[in-house]
Amino acid sequence: MRPLQELVRPNVWNLQPYSSARDEYKGMEASVFLDANENPYNAPFNRYPDPLQEELKRVLAPIKRVSPEQIFLGNGSDEAIDLVFRVFCRPGVDNVVAIAPTYGMYKVCADVNDVDYRPVLLDDAFQLQADRLLAATDERTKAVFLCSPNNPTGNSLRRDEILRVLRGFDGIVVIDEAYADFSCEQPFREELASWPNLIVLNTFSKAWGCAALRLGMAFASEEIIALFNKVKYPYNVNTLTQRQALELLKKPYTMDKWVADLKTERFNVMRSFADLPFCERVFPTDANFFLARVKGADAVYDYLVRLGIIVRNRSRVELCGDCLRITIGTPQENCKLLGALRQFRN
């Protein structure tokens, strides 16, 4: 890895971060808070939230098998993705390299930050080819974006190819593991100690069932997390979200049960989908959705919309011609989908 100081934008490296009233006072014994111009009425909403979400990180750390100092929490993973650009990439100068097809936010954040985005196509099994990815990097490449299990394809990227990227690239490697809870692969989050240039993303939006909370996680070295904390908005995760996440983490078995049920259901839905006369291919998946190639994806999609059933039409995405991406719902919802599809006539 290049020295961190060479990777970070000079203005960020030299940044004197905003210091909030809550940052400056860290003692436990105080009971009168007249330091932040808050209203003394309307508890608990009157108080600013903990800017570093320390209690939540303390509870989360053993669950995720990292230290609290290796955790960044943000307003969705999308905040962490944006911070990769704002911390490392000089607008109009630096670039990032990413697999394609993949999650759309990497490119949107690159465009917003005026950073050149270089997509490298996966092979026709939706697999990463490390050599081709590395060949697209140059001395101005600050970060590489991988997503495993990948969205919209659903498959996990091959571990040996990911390792070749980690070994072969001297900048930041982001691995988005938003769907890792649905997969049996060992998460790279547990290997932070081996890779100082690694940033792993997780989210409360999928397996934890909390997309409405807007709570995303990034795991990385203490040094990288400190940079994220310096650049983020001071109170980026609100009190309601922090509290609700703590409640949820008290019952991790709920999440395990949801995931187990969704995986069973995924198996059943994929098998039934493959039997549809217009289905050409159901692709293997490690996520809570699957990608399927059908004859006439637009017609199937429009038919479902007319019935009030919404799936994701990915047919205009490279390598995904005539493909629909289907999220696994409740058994009732999946039944409605399959029932409707069995009635479909071209």
Site for ligand PLP, rule CB under 6 A:
76-78, 103, 147, 151, 176, 178, 203, 205-206, 211, 216
Shortest Cβ 176–ligand PLP spacing (Å): 5
Query: Nearest distance from residue 52's CB to ligand PLP, in Å?
Result: 19
CB atoms within 10 A of CB 280: 13
CB of 189 to ligand PLP, least distance (A): 14
Q: How far is the CB of 319 from ligand PLP (least distance, A)?
A: 16
Residue 174: CB minimum distance to ligand PLP, A: 10
Residue whose CB is less far from ligand PLP, 203 or 241:
203
Q: Toward ligand PLP, which CB reaches closer, 95 or 203?
A: 203
Pick between residue 203 and residue 334 the one whose CB is nearest to ligand PLP.
203
- Of the pair 215, 341, the CB lying nearest ligand PLP is at 215
Helix (H, G, I), strand (E, B) or coil at 117: strand
Nearest to 79 by CA among 254, 213, 255, 258: 213
Instruction: Quote the CA–CA distance of 167 and 165 in Å, as a whole number.
Output: 5
C-alpha 14/C-alpha 8 separation (Å) is: 10
Where is 61: in which H helix or E strand? helix 54-64
Query: Which element (helix H / strand E) includes 264?
Result: helix 252-274
Rank residues 104 and 196 by Cβ distance to ligand PLP and give the closer one: 104
Q: How far is the CB of 327 from ligand PLP (least distance, A)?
A: 10
Query: What is the Cα–Cα distance from 244 to 147, expressed in whole angstroms?
Result: 27
331-342 vs 252-274: helix crossing angle, rounded to 10: 10
Nearer to ligand PLP, 141 or 151 (CB): 151
> Of 76 and 101, which CB lies nearer to ligand PLP in the complex structure?
76
Number of other CB atoms surrounding residue 152 within 10 Å:
23
Angle of helix 252-274 relative to helix 239-249, nearest 10 degrees, comes to 80
Helix (H) or strand (E) holding 138: none
Block residue for tokens 């493909």 = 323
Exposure on the CB side of residue 310, measured as CA atoms within 13 A: 0
Q: Which is nearer to ligand PLP, 176 or 322 (CB)?
A: 176
Pick 78 or 286: Cβ nearer ligand PLP: 78
CB of 203 to ligand PLP, least distance (A): 3
Q: Please report how close the Cβ of residue 342 comes to ligand PLP at its closest, in angstroms.
A: 29
Q: Give residue number: closest CB to ligand PLP.
A: 76
CA angle 237, 243, 245 (to 5 degrees): 80
User: Amino acid identity of 20?
Assistant: S
Rounded Cα distance between 39 and 45, Å, is 9
Cα gap 56→128, rounded to integer Å? 35
Cβ-based burial of 296 (10 A; exposed 0-12, middle 13-18, buried ≥19): middle
Minimum Å distance from CB 114 to ligand PLP? 22
